[in-house]
C-alpha cells in the first residue's frame, strides 16, 4: 500500500482525512510526526490552493514521500470573504492560531448588524497532492450554508457549531460524523482528488506492466 504523508498536525483533520480517503482509495496515510518531520511550515500563500500546495510541497521535498495537504476555511459573503485563509487565526493578536470559540465570537460580532438572510457563507477546502518528482494535483471542494446567530451542537470543530446547512436543517456541529463526511467541503475535495489519484496509479501500473 502506497505511503502518503499528511502535511498537518491538526489531529481532527488527520482523523477526517483517513476516514474520507478510505471510502475512495487505499493509501497508508501517516502524519508529519510519524514521518519524523519536526519543522514548521510557513503558510504564506494568498489563497487556499497556494497554502495547500506549500504544505504538501514542503513535506514531499523534506521527506522524499508523496504528500497531501489541505487548506480550508470559512468564507462569509457579508464580510467580503473573511475569515478565508485566516480562518484558524481570525481572532489572533500574534499571528498564531486562536481558539475556535474566539474565532466564532469574532465572526458573530462582525455579523451582528447583518440581516439573517444575508449571512450566507461557504466552507472551502483546497486539497493538494505532491510527489517528490514534482507532480502536483490540487482540487477544490465547497459547501454552502448560512451563519447561525448562535452555536448549535457539540460535534465537529472550528466553525461547525455556527455553520447552518439548510438542506438538513442543522449546523455542522449537530451533524454526525457520517452525515458531515457525506457532504462536507473536505469530502468533496477528497473525492475529486481520489478519482485522479486512482487514475494516476492505474497509469503507473500499466507502465510497470509494459516495462
| CATH number of domain containing 49 | 3.90.950.10
pTM of the model: 0.89
- Predicted local confidence at residue 22, as pLDDT: 78
Q: Which domain holds residue 166?
A: 3-210
pLDDT tens-digit series, residues 50-88: 999 999 999 999 999 999 999 999 999 999 999 999 999
pLDDT tens digits for 5-32? 999 887 777 777 888 877 776 778 888 9
Active site residues: 71
Output the pLDDT for position 211: 55
Residue 78 C-alpha from the chain's centroid: 22
Structure confidence at residue 208 as a pLDDT band (50, 70, 90): low
Tell me the pLDDT of the chain averaged across its residues: 91
Are 140 and 48 contacting, i.e. CB atoms less than 8 angstroms apart? yes
pLDDT tens digits along 95-145: 889 999 999 999 999 999 999 999 999 999 999 999 999 999 999 999 999
Query: b/e map of 164-182 (b: 16 or more CB within 10 Å)?
Result: bbeeeebbbbbbeeeebbe
User: Which helix (H) or strand (E) segment is 121 a member of?
Assistant: strand 120-130
Q: Which residues contact 128 (CB under 8 A, 6 or more apart)?
A: 49, 52, 53, 55, 56, 68, 69, 70, 71, 136, 137, 138
Residue 209 pLDDT class (50, 70, 90 cuts): low
Structural domain count, the chain: 1
Amino acid at each position: 500500500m502506497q505511503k502518503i504523508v499528511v502535511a498537518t498536525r491538526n489531529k481532527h483533520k488527520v482523523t477526517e482525512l483517513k476516514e474520507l480517503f478510505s471510502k475512495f482509495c487505499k493509501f497508508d496515510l501517516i502524519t508529519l510526526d510519524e514521518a519524523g518531520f519536526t519543522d514548521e511550515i510557513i503558510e504564506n500563500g494568498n489563497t487556499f490552493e497556494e497554502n495547500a500546495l506549500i504544505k504538501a510541497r514542503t513535506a514531499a521535498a523534506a521527506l522524499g514521500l508523496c504528500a497531501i495537504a489541505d487548506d480550508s476555511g470559512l468564507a462569509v459573503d457579508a464580510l467580503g470573504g473573511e475569515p478565508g485563509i485566516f480562518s484558524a487565526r481570525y481572532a489572533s493578536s500574534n499571528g498564531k492560531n486562536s481558539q475556535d470559540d474566539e474565532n466564532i465570537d469574532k465572526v458573530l460580532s462582525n455579523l451582528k448588524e447583518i440581516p439573517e438572510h444575508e449571512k450566507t457563507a461557504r466552507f472551502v477546502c483546497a486539497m493538494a497532492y505532491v510527489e517528490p518528482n514534482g507532480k502536483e494535483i490540487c482540487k477544490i471542494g465547497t459547501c454552502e450554508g448560512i451563519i447561525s446567530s448562535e452555536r448549535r451542537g457539540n460535534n465537529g470543530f472550528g466553525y461547525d457549531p455556527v455553520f447552518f446547512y439548510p438542506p438538513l436543517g442543522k449546523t455542522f456541529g449537530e451533524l454526525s460524523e457520517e452525515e458531515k463526511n457525506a457532504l462536507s467541503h473536505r469530502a468533496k475535495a477528497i473525492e475529486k482528488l481520489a478519482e485522479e489519484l486512482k487514475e494516476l496509479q492505474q497509469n503507473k501500473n500499466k507502465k510497470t506492466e509494459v516495462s
